[in-house]
């Protein structure tokens, strides 16, 4: 067991849909920095949230 605490960064953007990034398939938007972050990140793809503004997008 490790005694180091994990580093966690939670990124929440407002008013952005799933397909609004190059890494999620947008045909002409270029988002190279976010795409690189996406490639090394853990993505939550199956989850449930309460119907508040930002978390439900």
The total number of structural domains that make up the chain: 1
Contact assessment for residue 41 and residue 8, using Cβ atoms and an 8 Å cutoff: no
Per-residue model confidence as pLDDT tens digits over 25-49:
899 999 999 899 889 888 777 877 6
Q: Is the pLDDT of residue 57 over 70?
A: no
Residues 6+ apart with CB under 8 A from 39: 23
* Residue 54 pLDDT grade (very low, low, confident, very high; cuts 50, 70, 90): low
Q: Is the pLDDT of residue 15 over 90?
A: no
Give the domain extent around 5. 1-57
Whole-Å CA distances, 5 to 1, 2, 26, 57: 11, 8, 36, 30
Give the residue, 54 or 11, on which the prediction is more confident: 11
């Amino acid at each position: 067991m490790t005694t180091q605490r994990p580093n966690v960064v939670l990124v929440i953007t407002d008013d952005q849909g799933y397909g609004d990034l190059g890494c999620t398939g947008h045909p002409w938007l270029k988002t190279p920095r976010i795409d690189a972050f996406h490639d090394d990140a853990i993505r939550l793809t199956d989850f449930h949230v309460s119907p508040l503004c930002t978390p439900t997008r």
